[in-house]
Amino acid sequence: MPANWISTRAWLLMLPLLVVMVSVIGWPLVDTVRLSFTDAKLVGTEGSFVGIANYEKMLTGSNFQRALVTTTWFAVVSVAAEMVLGVLAALLLNQQFRGRAALRALMILPWALPTVVNATLWRLIYNPEYGALNAALTQLGLIDSYRSWLGEPGSALTALIVADCWKNFPLVALIALAALQAVPRDITAAALVDGAGPFNRFRFVVMPYLAGPLLVALVLRTIEAFKVFDIIWVMTRGGPANSTRTLSILVYQEAFSFQRAGSGASLALIVTLLVTILAAAYAALLRRAAGAS
């Protein structure tokens, strides 16, 4: 069978998928680009052409710059904490002890919960009147009175990071645990016989097997954390005093709360570009790591 016919048949088989992708991704993207160059409102007028005025307004505005800093801080701290907690949990669950299977199953529970459910649970925990966190800290004598953890600008973002870490560190733990299963036990036993301590065994024996999978987990979690919306919207809606307003929250408020479709579209494209650059950088890092191995 000619090679060109095989290629043609492959494209014909992919045609339905391509049509669907163009319909649900391509056209909305093109229309978003068109809207970003207008002053269109969400309801009513189509708006007039304003060039790159929307982009200039967004990029130079204090709201965008503050949201970018908040998003970056949220992504860096939450992902770093999730990586550390995930690896520690994987090392624990890789040991032999009674109840290990049950503990592995329980660890999946936070990750399996829908994000809205997880956010609602943490709102109840942080509740300033009857929250479990206030009750526990008061009984331990660590605080004198109940605090509004989500109502204070100084603590709201940290509270959100804790909730996000609890939700997502099991994913990192599962990836790391799967990688740990591939570590040959004879190598670890030989390192133990040679007198290598726990840290050196982890660094020189275990870590080479963990590096690749952990890099994949780092890519996935960084991109997701940079796009975070749902957990913040459910818990704080970007408040108090916009202290937890990330880029995704800002896009929603600009386009839907303030009904400025044009500037909202331009901001959405800016965020998309930032995430694309981030994904491309990580892809290059993955290729470099694969080449080095």
DSSP, collapsed to helix, strand or coil, labels residue 270 as helix
Structural domains in the chain, sorted by start? 46-292 (1.10.3720.10)
Look at residue 69 and tell me whether its pLDDT is greater than 70.
yes
- Average pLDDT value for residue range 242-256: 92
Question: Which residues on neighbouring strands pair with residue 49, listed in sequence order?
Answer: 38
Predicted confidence band of residue 1 (pLDDT cuts 50, 70, 90): low
Percent of the chain beyond pLDDT 90? 40
Question: Which residues on neighbouring strands pair with residue 38, listed in sequence order?
Answer: 49
pTM: 0.87
pLDDT digits (tens, 9 = 90+) for 55-67: 998 889 899 999 9
More confident residue, 192 or 70: 70
CA angle 157, 160, 165 (to 5 degrees): 125
pLDDT digits (tens, 9 = 90+) for 164-195: 999 999 999 999 999 988 887 777 777 777 77
pLDDT at 12: 83
Q: Give which of 148, 221, 150, 207 is closest to 176, Cα–Cα.
A: 207
Q: Give which of 175, 203, 201, 198 is closest to 187, Cα–Cα.
A: 201
Look at residue 5 and tell me whether its pLDDT is greater than 70.
no
- Average pLDDT value for residue range 207-217: 85
* Angle, in degrees to the nearest 10, between helices 153-180 and 115-125: 130
Look at residue 221 and tell me whether its pLDDT is greater than 80.
yes
Tell me the torsion sign for CA atoms 154, 157, 163, 166.
negative
Burial group, residue 113, by CB count within 10 angstroms (0-12, 13-18, 19+): middle
pLDDT at 124: 94
pLDDT at 289: 65
DSSP state of 61: S
Look at residue 285 and tell me whether its pLDDT is greater than 90.
no
pLDDT at 204: 78
Look at residue 17 and tell me whether its pLDDT is greater than 70.
yes
Look at residue 81 and tell me whether its pLDDT is greater than 90.
yes
pLDDT digits (tens, 9 = 90+) for 116-169: 999 999 999 999 998 999 999 999 998 888 999 999 998 999 999 999 999 999
pLDDT at 14: 85
Percent of the chain beyond pLDDT 70? 96
Asked whether 224 and 246 are in contact (CB, 8 A), the reply is no
DSSP, collapsed to helix, strand or coil, labels residue 147 as coil
CA dist 129 and 138 (Å) reads 12
Asked whether 172 and 83 are in contact (CB, 8 A), the reply is yes
